Structure 1
Amino acid sequence: MSTQSEAEVKAAKRLFNWRLFIVGAMRLIDSMNVNMIMPYGLQMVAMFLNQETSSPEASTAFAWLVGLYSFFEIIFSPFWGVVADWIGRRPCLLIGMAGTAMAPVLMGLGQSLSAVFLFRALDGFFCGNQAVIRTYLGELVDKGSEASAFSFLVLCFVLGLIAGPFLGGLAFPARWSPELFGQTLFDQYPVFLPNLLFGVFATIVCIIGFIYLEETLPKSKLRWRKKEGLEGLEGLEGEGVGVDQDPEAASNADSVETADTDTADAGTAGKKCCYSLTVLQVILTFCGISGVVEAQNTLVVLLWQYPQSMDGFGFSPQQVSLVQVSGGLGPVLCHLTFLHPLVKKLGFLKVLLLGFLINSISYNLYPVYSLCADPKYGVWRYIILGLAEFVGMIGTFMMFTAIFVFMNRASVGLNRATVNGWANSGRALSRAVSPLFATTLMRAAEALPHGIHMPFYVTTGCLALCLAISWTGLRKLDSA
């Protein structure tokens, strides 16, 4: 009996780890999708506009291209959250992954800026279901496993910050390998190669998910099933027939309720005028972190590719990719070494604040880094910027790990997919607006000494304000 029980525990653990791996792979694909465009996006829009990369038209179009993806997330994240409550988590995840595999390939074949914008928007539509990933994971974990599970999810996101720019650095292959790619399809479509490779990876993940991913929402909790069940129950009651509960559904419901204490009726949250203050405070912090990180990513990519005369570094897409990849190694080290002991010792709130401090210091020192912008410093330019990204991304990783756990705790007892859908919509709004805001501020401050770095200080101040407003709710969840 004991041996059988141990075997069941081991089997359950293997199943959990396998599901976690698939969810992590989907998060990795999403992160690659967002960041793959960073190394080549500015040069791509400059090519279509027939402008220099340092021109205001090119930088503005690049900011719009980055933001457009998030604008469509804004619109469709709540939609995907509601759909996930109606038909289940698994179908939404698979549909989104299939669309994510298709849209970038179409964008890589685009022959005009209008076509590129259209397919980038389509990509954002399918990415709107990324909130369902956090919902799915939230229904798998309990209090004891949430820290490791959500930090793994963030780690996969950060690994995408490495793999995405690495793929993006393969754009314009006829320039860096003319003997191999010259006079080929990849010469005619210079950004097709990274998008094609990405599409292949996303398709593989989608197939694995289709085969192995299981639904976490019991059939008894699917809204369309519940509606049909109520109608059927009324008919049976009219005939005086009793209805027994499906043992399998009951078992599944019990397992989900362990991870998501669904004490209220599934429709209760939807009938409320608004979520609680604590939930809103967590969503605000989540949106603030996402917006600041997106602004920082856009700013550094612009600075790295601007000419030295504009306080830039004059990097090529391949050089941008190199620095971004080296920076992404920081969170990997953090996850594998000191994050979990740090969480046990300090708690999630202090980890969040420490991450904010590390991130702020790293990016606000860019006026110092610009002193080494001259090519005469050679490899030292890459070492300094790589270390800055390395440290800054550790701070980013710590903030996202903490806020994901807070979001999971705040949505207990609510329609988790719907809450995550609205949170993802707010995050997408923040990510859409912040690059445009940062780019506009950068242009407006160019005339000032080191004014090009001013957006770093402004975005840091905005995130500090979000943390101050949300402090009471975060403290409450940290002690929960």
Structure 2
Amino acid sequence: MTIDEETALLSRPVPKPRTPLPKLQLSVIMLIQICEPIASQSIYPYINQLVSELDITGGDEKKVGYYAGLIESLFFLTEAMTVLQWSRASDLFGRKPILLIGLFGTGSSILCFGLSRTFWALVVSRCLCGLLNGNIGVMKSAVGDLTDRTNRAEAYAFLPIVWAIGASVGPLIGGSLARPHDRFPEIFSAAFWQDFPYFLPCVATGGFVFLSWFAVLAFFKETVPSRNQKRHGLTEVGSEDISRADSPPTVMSHKHVGPLPMRELLGFPVIISVANYVALAFLNTTLGALLPLFMAMPREIGGLGLPPPTIGIVLSAYGLTTGLFQILFFARFVRRFGEKRVFVNGMITCLPVFALFPIISSIAQRFGLSIVVWGLIGCVLALGALMDTSFGAIFMFITASAPKSSRGTVNGLSQTSAALARAIGPALSTSLFSLSVQYNLLGGYFVYVFFFVLSGLALVLAEHLPNQIWEDIE
């Protein structure tokens, strides 16, 4: 056979056409996705002030970090206790009922948080919020159900974007609506708002969660086969809405569709993907807890001394920056560099992020809140936006590592592990901040050196991911 230039060109593999995304279904999922960062992060701008007002620390500002970190961590700690069970239940009973339960529990517990007047009431309501919220793993499973290899990067690009929007809106709600009787006395002059000064941001957050509940009830179509379909050995990915022209093709088979036992799932693909997700979640949540604490604490003990409204604006800017960066660049980066390189490059940014904190603190102590300080804070936000591209990349690894029939279980396992990391991260970081300041460890900057070293270790782990992502497993 004669091989010429034309033959070589014709023999190249033709790229598979990109499957259109199911827009309505994904829109509902993104609405659910935005609820968790709003619920978990709307308390960040005022939690330190709330702890101080409860007089738990006896007036010692250096101890605020201990209790604030505990309250922040409880959501993720209790979420870790149940998210695997919720996700596995979604493999058996469907995604929709589990999503509805999670949203209802989240909205109710947020309202309870706003009505809490003691430290232990805050603890109980925060725990309930985590225990009843199993949606984070179920949502990612649903995205995997609705997509294939040709369009998954575009779909997963929206998850960090929506999270970033929630991370932007949440602190803005918390910072803007906290203590309304002080900020808007002509409207909120009743004694109720003085007795419950943080109920208004909880009402706004809870109201959005319940709105999402109604959206799921009305518009979300089940993506897991019904029991009747399973009984007849048929698997249909999606529904009438999903099987339209703008959706992935319906898949019908006579294969076993039940979730596999856990021991059969724990191979190298699942373990290495979940381990890297845990490392990323830990460092990202650490940054999320350290940044508002760093901005809230007085300058003389290593912070910036900013008020809650300003902290809310800064955190909102961080969310906006992340969202814009994801929507503009993530899918392009994945197509050009591959999932692994995108993930590793995002993890690299952890090193300069933690290195910048002591630099900002030193400049603020000497020169006040100068333009240099704000410029460096902007650098932290920009680097954080690049770090967040790692989430979409690792979600793609996790989805590809799991058989379709056990996707909920594997996503639940990843979310359980990540929730534990997110529970440890805020408590550890804020406690180390307080210890560093209280005992002047490395000039009060030990906390940043500690997490700088951990970031380096996370990079070593990231290099163990394969260069090419796995094919979807039936």
Alignment TM-score, normalising by the size of structure 1: 0.85
Corresponding residue number in structure 2 for 1:106: 112
SS in 1 for 2:223: coil
Instruction: Name the residue aligned to 2:359.
Output: 368
Can you list the C-alpha shifts for 1:342-362, whole angstroms capped at 9, x where unaligned?
222211111112212234313
Contact kept, 8 Å, 2:158 with 2:327, in 1: the verdict is no
The separation in 2 between residues aligned to 1:290 and 1:315, in whole angstroms, is: 26
Aligned to 2:392: 401
Separation in structure 2 between the aligned mates of residue 308 and residue 250 of structure 1, nearest angstrom: 55
> Residues 436 and 444 of structure 2 are in contact (CA less than 8 Å); yes or no, is this contact kept in structure 1?
yes
User: 1:201 — aligned with what?
Assistant: 208
1:241 — aligned with what? none
- What does residue 122 of structure 1 align with? 128
Give 3-state SS (helix, strand or coil) of 2:447's partner.
Answer: helix
2:273 is aligned to 282
Query: 2: CA distance between counterparts of 1:339 and 1:325?
Result: 20
* 1:329 alignment partner in structure 2: 320
Distance 2:55 2:461 in 1: 42
Residue identity opposite 1:391 in structure 2:
A
Deviation, structure 1 residue 332: 2.3
State whether structure 2 residue 170 is matched by structure 1 residue 164.
yes
The question of whether the paired residues in 2 share the 8 Å contact of 1:290 and 1:427 is answered with yes
Structure-1 residue corresponding to 2:76:
70
Residue 162 of structure 2 contacts residue 323 of structure 2 at CA under 8 Å; is this kept in 1? no
Taking structure 1 as reference, are residues 104 and 251 closer, same or farther at Cα in structure 2, changes over 3 Å only?
closer
1:160 is displaced (CA, Å) by 0.8
Q: How has the CA–CA distance of structure 1 residues 351 and 457 changed in structure 2, closer, same or farther, with 3 Å as cutoff? A: farther
Supply the AA of the counterpart residue of 2:271: L
Task: Give the deviation of 1:259 after TM superposition.
Answer: 8.8
1:140 partner letter:
L
Residues 323 and 382, structure 1, Cα contact 8 Å, conserved in 2: no
What's the counterpart of residue 197 of structure 2? 190
Tell me if 1:466 matches 2:458. Answer: yes
1:314-463 matched pairs, under 5 angstroms:
314-373=305-364, 377-378=368-369, 380=371, 383-384=374-375, 386-413=377-404, 415-446=406-437, 447-448=439-440, 451-463=443-455
The question of whether the paired residues in 2 share the 8 Å contact of 1:139 and 1:260 is answered with no
Q: Distance in 1 between matches of 2:459 and 2:252?
A: 27
Superposition map of 1:162-311 within 5 A: 162-169=168-175, 170-220=177-227, 226=230, 229=231, 265-267=256-258, 269-270=260-261, 272=263, 275-311=266-302
Q: Is the 8 Å Cα contact of residues 225 and 236 (structure 2) preserved in structure 1?
A: yes
Counterparts in 2 of 1:257 and 1:21: CA distance versus 1, 3 Å: closer
Higher helix fraction: Structure 1 or Structure 2? 1
Which segment drifts farther, 131-140 or 403-412?
403-412
Distance in 1 (alpha carbons) for counterparts of 2:82 and 2:194: 35
Relative distance call for 1:262 and 1:367 in structure 2 (3 A) is: farther
- Pair 1:90 & 2:96 matched: yes
Corresponding residue of 2:61: 55
Summarize deviations over 1:397-434 as a string: whole Å, max 9, x none: 21111111111111134501011111111001001112
Question: Which residue of structure 1 lines up, in the alignment, with residue 143 of structure 2?
Answer: 137
Partner of 2:13: none
Residue 437 of structure 1 and its aligned partner are, at CA, apart by 1.8
Structure 2: distance between partners of 1:271 and 1:162: 36
Looking at structure 1, the residues matched to 310 and 99 of structure 2 have their Cα atoms a distance apart, in angstroms, of 34
TM-aligned CA deviation for residue 175 of structure 1: 2.6
Percent identity for Structure 1 against Structure 2: 22
For each residue in 1:255-313, what CA deviation from the matched residue of structure 2 results, as whole angstroms up to 9, or x when unmatched?
Answer: 79969999973456216365101211110111111111111111121111111110211
Structure 2 counterpart of 1:272, one-letter code: R
| Paired residue secondary structure (1:127) | coil
Q: Distance in 2 between matches of 1:129 and 1:451?
A: 42
Residue 27 (structure 1) aligned to one of 30, 33, 51: 33
Contact 1:285 1:467 in 2 (8 A): no
Work out whether 1:475 is the aligned partner of 2:470.
no
Structure 1: state its 5+ residue gaps.
Answer: 1-11, 230-243
Whether the aligned pair in 2 keeps the contact of 1:261 and 1:412 (CA below 8 Å) is no
Shift of the alpha carbon at 1:444?
A: 3.2
Question: Which stretch has the larger CA shift, 357-366 or 141-150?
Answer: 357-366
Q: Is contact 1:364–1:456 with CA below 8 Å preserved after alignment?
A: yes
**What do the CA deviations read for 1:53-109 (whole angstroms, capped 9, x no partner)?**
763442211111011111111110111012112210011111111111211111101
Native 8 Å contact 2:94 2:222 kept in 1: yes
Q: Give the residue type in structure 2 aligned to 1:174.
A: H
Task: State whether residues 340 and 465 of structure 2, in contact with CA within 8 Å, keep that contact through their aligned partners in structure 1.
Answer: no
| SS state at 1:473 partner | coil
Q: Secondary structure at the match of 2:224?
A: coil
- CA change 1:427–1:65 in 2 (3 A) is same
- The CA distance in 2 between the partners of 1:73 and 1:182, in whole Å, is 37
Per the TM alignment, residue 376 of structure 1 is displaced from its structure 2 partner at its CA by 6.7
Question: For residues 435 and 70 of structure 1, what CA distance do their matches in structure 2 show?
Answer: 10
8 A Cα contact 1:281 1:474, kept in partner? no
Q: Structure 2 vs 1, CA of residues 372 and 56 (structure 1 numbering), >3 Å: closer, same or farther?
A: closer
More off after superposition, 344-353 vs 376-385: 376-385
- Pairwise CA distance, 1:454: 2.9
Q: What secondary structure, in the 3-state scheme, does the structure 2 residue paired with 1:139 have? A: helix
Query: What one-letter code is carried by the residue in structure 2 that aligns with 1:191?
Result: Y
Deviates more, 1:78-87 or 1:409-418: 409-418
Letter paired with 1:357: I
Q: Which amino acid aligns with 2:457?
A: L
Amino acid of the structure 2 residue aligned with 1:145? N
Q: When the two structures are superposed, what TM-score results if normalisation uses the length of structure 2?
A: 0.86
Q: CA deviation at 1:144?
A: 1.1
Go from structure 1 to structure 2 and tell me whether the alpha carbon gap of 1:450 and 1:83 turns closer, same or farther (over 3 Å shift). Answer: same
CA offsets 1:236-263 (integer angstroms, 9 cap, x no match):
xxxxxxxx777x9599699799699999
Instruction: Report the CA distance between 1:127 and its aligned residue.
Output: 1.9
